[in-house]
Structure 1
Amino acid sequence: MEHTVTTFASLADLTAAVGTELGTSAWHTIDQDRVNLFAEATGDHQWIHVDPERAKLTPFGGTIAHGYLTLSLLPVLAKECYGVEGVAMALNYGSDKVRFPAPLPVGTAVRATAVLVSADEVPGGGVQVLVRFTIASEASPKPHCVAETITRFYPAA
């Protein structure tokens, strides 16, 4: 599957696309430096993430990325999957059903596929969308993260 991005000309066009795949991001390799920076930012220094020598002795064979680091990739991956024109702002409203089915070994390249699950009007003229992102790699038959994100889009005046 190639990197594909869908750009919608309007919120109405986005709403009409419920049930469709929106796109697939480019590949992004998760390296140890990124994992270490995430550990510093969050205070989560668990050794399975930050101690490569100790982690070699585990069934993983090395360090693995934090689940929340994998989830935090969604902003960059999402913009590589889809976009909406004519929007004044987009607000992160939250996430549903976040799961980490498989560990993500450091050094692995991942990408996301986005599917538009629902789109509903909200007060103030906006549209609330639920998008299911699946973050996967060629290294695992299971995805590393599956999350449904909720975003509210508001049209430009």
Structure 2
Amino acid sequence: MQQALQHQASEAMGTLSALNARFIHNYVTRDVTSHEAILHPRFINITPTGLRQERAAYLRFWATGFDPDTMVYYDVRDERISIFGDVVLVRATTKSIRRRDGEDIMGMTTYTDIYQFEKGTWTCIQAQITPVAPEHHPADDTIVNVYIDGQLQQ
């Protein structure tokens, strides 16, 4: 029984890590159709300024939110997934380098995406993004994926 539960948890972790990678890839590639499919109908987003965005407004932003001409570097690091029955917290930090007027500006944010397992599938019910102060930046050795000029690096 215990081994079966451990196998299920391990399988769920792989599925959720892949969902996290898809979530980020959807953002970078502005793939609204793929992204909409992983959002719960009552999804809500909380921005770094505290704005609460309902699903429709969030998806409108998603269509143009990532600009590879100005966001020249983007990575995902320090991924942490915690399972609480049929609810999961997916947390990670992103590092971005935005080019404005010839100057590169680096920043990091941590996000928490909350997923619920319902009707045999995981859907994201809430996303929240928080700025990260430099003294709390995760190290480069925790990088999971890197995008340069909007292209996933292998």
TM-score (norm 1): 0.33
Relative contact order, higher structure (CA 8 A, sep 6+): 1
- Structure of larger gyration radius: 1
Q: Which has the higher strand share?
A: 2
